[in-house]
Chain A
Amino acid sequence: MRNSQILKSFLATALFSSALCANAADDSVVVNVSGSITTATCTIAASDVNKTINIPVSLANDLQNASKLTPVYFSFGISNCDSSKTNAVATVAAATVASDVSGYGSNSVIANTGSATNVGIGLIGATSVGATPSGPLPVGTQSAAATLTQVGGLSTTSGTLYLGAQVVPLSKAVSSGAGSVTGTATVTFTYS
Chain B
Amino acid sequence: MNKFIAISALMAAFVSANALAADANLTFNGAVSTGTCTMNAADATKTLVIPDVSSSSLANAGNTAFTSYSANSTISFTGCPAEVSNVVLSSASGTGTTFGGDTSRQTPASGTATGVHLVISSGPRVVDYLRPGVARSFPVSPSGTVKVPVYVGVTADITSSSAFAAPTAGNYSSSYTLTFSYS
B79 to chain A, nearest CB (A): 14
Please classify the interface of chain B as helix (H, G, I), strand (E, B), loop, or mixed, using the class held by over half of its residues.
mixed
Instruction: Evaluate contact between A27 and B1: CB separation under 8 angstroms.
Output: yes
Chain A nearest CB: distance from B137 CB in Å? 10
In the bound complex, do residue A56 and residue B30 qualify as a contact, i.e. CB atoms below 8 Å apart?
Answer: yes
Query: In the complex the two chains form, is B34's CB within 8 Å of A178's CB?
Result: yes
Contacts of B27 in A (CB 8 A): 50-53, 182-184
Of A59, A179, A183, most B-chain CB atoms within 10 Å: A59
Contact A182 B28 (CB under 8 A): yes
With A27-B2, A57-B84, A63-B32 known as contacts, the answer to whether A51 contacts B10 (CB < 8 A) is: no
B162 at the interface (CB under 8 A from A): no
Q: For residues 138 through 192 of chain A, which have their beta carbon under 8 Å from a beta carbon of chain B?
A: 165, 167, 176-189
Among A11-19, A29-37, A96-104, the stretch that binds chain B is: A29-37
Q: Are B35 and A187 in contact (CB under 8 A)?
A: no
User: B174 to nearest A CB, angstroms?
Assistant: 29
**Is B29 an interface residue when CB atoms closer than 8 A count as contact?**
yes
B182 lies within 8 A of A57 (CB): yes
Contact A186 B6 (CB under 8 A): no
Question: By the criterion CB–CB under 8 Å, are B81 and A184 in contact?
Answer: no
Decide if B28 touches A165 in the complex (CB within 8 Å): yes
Q: Tell which of B17-25, B54-62, B98-106, B141-149 binds the partner.
A: B17-25
- A184, B28: Cβ atoms closer than 8 Å: yes
> Are A116 and B31 neighbours in the complex by a CB distance under 8 Å?
yes
Q: Which residues of A contact B28 (CB under 8 A)?
A: 52-53, 55, 110, 121, 165, 181-185
Q: How far is the CA of A53 from the CA of B29 in the complex (A)?
A: 6
Contacts A31-B6, A34-B13, A179-B83; is A51 near B26 (CB within 8 Å)? yes
Q: Do residues B32 and A60 form an inter-chain contact, with CB atoms below 8 A? A: yes
Q: Are B181 and A56 in contact (CB under 8 A)?
A: yes
> With A32-B10, A56-B182, A57-B84 given, is the CB distance from A167 to B23 under 8 Å?
no
A92 to B36, CA, bound (A): 31
Residues in A with CB closer than 8 Å to B181 are: 56
For residue B10, which residue of chain A has the nearest CB?
A32
Residue A54 at the chain B interface, CB threshold 8 Å: yes
On whether the beta carbons of A181 and B29 are closer than 8 Å, the reply is yes
Known: A30-B6, A51-B25, A180-B83. A58 touches B34 (CB 8 A): no
Chain A residues, Cβ within 8 Å of B36 = 57, 59
Chain A residues 21 to 69 lying within 8 A of chain B, measured CB to CB, are: 27, 29-32, 34, 36, 44, 48-61, 63
A-B contact pairs, 22 of them (CB 8 A): A27-B1, A27-B3, A30-B3, A52-B28, A52-B29, A55-B28, A56-B181, A57-B36, A57-B182, A58-B30, A59-B35, A116-B31, A119-B32, A177-B32, A178-B31, A179-B31, A180-B30, A182-B28, A182-B29, A183-B28, A186-B26, A187-B22
- Chain B residues with CB under 8 Å of chain A are 1-3, 6, 10, 13, 17, 21-36, 81, 83-84, 88, 181-183
